[in-house]
Amino acid sequence: MCEVAGETDTAKIDGHADCSNCGPGAKIDWENTQRVLEHMGAHILFDTKLNRTEERCGLCLRPAALCPIYVTKGRGTLGRYTVDFTKSTCPNLVRFNYKNASESSEKCPCSNVPIICSLCSPGSPAVWTYNLEAHFRGRHRLTSRAHFPVPVEQSKSEKDGMKRVWQTRFKSRKFYNTKK
């Protein structure tokens, strides 16, 4: 779980905080929510200390059951998905552009967003995309990927990009203060 000032004893300095899983060498830029999603997503995909059979929150890495995130769809056929901030309860809940966060690119390889599981009952908490395999196997007892209602595998470019995020998490990035 990443710790933010006021919630734990780790201070947030200039929008940056240490990751409690990585230690003080890994700073997370809480002003850039895509970087938060990337860092947490890299943990879910590559952190051998995490139990891969357990669903994790994509914002704090606590067990997903402790951090229910709900997603709503906007009105109309073209309505966009968004996180329901009135029902979601993660202590690290941050606003992010759902559409942008759900698309992997070379600069932003992470596409880990909460989605609605078609097999769960209506009104159930969302499932983070990087947790889909654990969700289908654990919650719905599906043993074969062939029986999963949606693909759970990331593209090669996304896997490679997220591997780079994981491998460089201790390298200091240049943080630019865009607020004057």
Which pLDDT belongs to residue 180?
52
CA torsion through residues 98, 100, 105, 106, sign: negative
Which pLDDT belongs to residue 178?
57
Q: Give the pLDDT band of residue 14 (cuts 50, 70, 90).
A: low
Contact yes or no for 50/44 (Cβ under 8 A): yes
pTM: 0.85
Average pLDDT taken over every residue of the chain: 87
Which pLDDT belongs to residue 76?
78
- List residues bridging with 29 in a β-sheet: 16
Which carries the bigger pLDDT value, residue 171 or residue 34? Answer: 34
40 Cα distance to chain centroid: 5
Percent of the chain with pLDDT over 90: 67
SS (H, E, C) the chain: CECCECCECCCCECCEEEECCCEEEEEEECCCHHHHHHHHHHHHHHCCCCCCCCCECCCCCCEHHHCCCCEEECCCCCCCEEECCCCCCCCCCCCCCHHHHCCCCCCCCCCCCEECCCCCCCCCCCEEHHHHHHHHHHCCCCCCHHHCCCCCCCCHHHHHHHHHHHHCCCCCCCCCCCCC
pLDDT, tens only, 24-81: 888 888 889 999 999 999 999 999 999 989 999 999 999 999 999 999 988 877 888 9
Contact yes or no for 35/100 (Cβ under 8 A): no
Q: Give the pLDDT band of residue 13 (cuts 50, 70, 90).
A: low
Percent of the chain with pLDDT over 70: 87
